[in-house]
Structure 1
Amino acid sequence: MNRAFLVTALVTGSALVGAGYLLRSRPHGRALPSSIIPIVTPVIDVRVAEHVLGVMERLPGDEVTLLLHTAGGCVTSCVMIANALREFERSTAIVPYMALSGGTLIALNAQQLEMGRGASLSAVDPIVSGQRARHLPDEEPPSGIAAIAREYEVAMARYVRETLAARLPEMGESAVKRAMDVFMGEHAPHEWPIRRQEVEALGLTVGPAARSWAEMVDVYRKRWW
């Protein structure tokens, strides 16, 4: 697959809709693979998830590429997209600049990850009522927001462990634990940037993202942000 050609086709001809800026039509005169799905949006909400899941469901083959540029979003929406990504035989997540929080969760569930030279991921621990779940005060017995926060925290930790165990099948429990500490934000703020070199140091395979993917994101940002 000639990705430089594909990105040129996307930039010059695609029509975008909704908060997720998803492909709605194909460029005239060029065959554009439907397996490339841009998610270029500040927030991944339910509407974005609906569009992404719909496009994924209609893909003719068993290969998908997600182009991610986002600050994250709704936990449920991001997990649903990540779940759908797991069902593909071949999946790639491309992060030219940033895929933070829920965007990181999606990226980690792709079989292949590509990041730009200055790109960043971040922790994925849940935010409840504007605060990290772990920072909400404990109550005995747990109730209200504190109880919800604990539920989200436990569910996310379980999901992230499952994700990392699949990405690090031969690295052992110690490697999974190190990666868990980083992506659950044990030693840094939720939004703290995790660079490509740091991701690689955890044992995760990361390829370089071609500059043409960043150029594609730039076009979307100029039109919509």
Structure 2
Amino acid sequence: MIDVRVAEDVLEVMEKLRDGEVTLLLHTAGGCVTSCVMIANALREFERSTAVVPYMALSGGTLIALNARQLQMGRGASLSAVDPIIQGQRARHIPADEPHNEISALAREYERAIGRHVHDTLVDRLPGASETELERAYDVFMGKDAPHEWPIRRPELEELGLRVSPASHSWFEMVDSYRRRWW
């Protein structure tokens, strides 16, 4: 899970990189939206950035992956929607018409903020895309017609106009080695 501590560690390493190039290996179910946006924003600052997703980069992991200039994925790898989750619920499912409901107000703020971030990311990742194409991609990543964690696989990403290349087998070995140590 990507929390503030993970974001601090990643940002510290990224800050020390001097050659304008970074490769980020992602294997995550997501995490704290603020932490994920911070990493995504830092990734945008690199001239050459690659996100490698051997198996999955869900939710906030997708937000990070989409902000790399290059995306590499495994054959069965998946991304997912990035729409915000507030107290275990999708923000869009929290009633907006309840006055003085702090959670409702927070949900609307997160929806707008993430929506802007996703829109800006897609404009950058899909240069020359029509408004219709951008809207279609936006709807997919904001989870308009699917559950939050529904897998978005490589063929669908390519249909949206995103370039995706295969991930090297060495990345799978690295993730598998790490997973075996902790499970």
TM over 0.5, yes or no? Answer: yes
Q: Which has the higher contact order (CA 8 A, sep 6+)?
A: 2
After TM superposition, give the deviation of residue 61 of structure 1 in Å: 1.2
CA shift at 1:179, angstroms?
0.3
Identity of aligned residues (%): 74
Task: Compare CA radii of gyration and give the structure with the larger one.
Answer: 1
SS at match of 2:30: coil
Of 70, 88, 92 in structure 1, the residue corresponding to residue 28 of structure 2 is: 70
For structure 2, the residue ranges without an aligned partner over 5 or more in a row are none
Between the aligned partners of 1:188 and 1:111, the Cα distance in structure 2 is 26
The answer (yes or no) to whether the contact 2:98–2:104 under 8 Å persists in 1 is no
Q: 1:128 aligns with which of 82, 86, 91?
A: 86
Query: Is the aligned partner of 1:170 residue 2:136?
Result: no
- The equivalences for 1:1-225 within 5 A come to 43-141=1-99, 143-225=101-183
Q: Measure, in 2, the Cα distance between the counterparts of 1:113 and 1:142.
A: 42
Looking at structure 2, the residues matched to 142 and 117 of structure 1 have their Cα atoms a distance apart, in angstroms, of 47
TM-score, scaled to structure 2: 0.98
Does the residue aligned with 1:69 lie in a helix, a strand or coil? coil
- Shift, 1:140, TM fit: 4.4
* The structure with more helix, counted as a fraction of residues: 2
Which one-letter code corresponds to 1:156 in the other structure?
I
Report the residue type matching 1:45 in the other structure: D
Task: Give the AA of the match of 2:62.
Answer: T
- How far apart are 1:142 and its partner, in Å? 5.3
SS at match of 2:52: strand
Following TM superposition, by how much is the alpha carbon of 1:143 offset from its aligned partner in structure 2, in angstroms? 3.0
Deviation readout 1:34-66 (Å, 9 max, x if unpaired):
xxxxxxxxx100000000000000112100000
Residue 35 of structure 1: aligned partner = none
* Whole-angstrom distance in 1 between the partners of 2:152 and 2:7: 24
CA RMSD of aligned residues (A): 0.9
Distance 1:57 1:122, change over 3 A: same
**C-alpha separation between the residues in 2 aligned to 1:97 and 1:123?**
16
Question: Separation in 2 of the partners of 1:142 and 1:93?
Answer: 41
Q: Which blocks of at least 5 consecutive residues in structure 1 are unaligned? A: 1-42
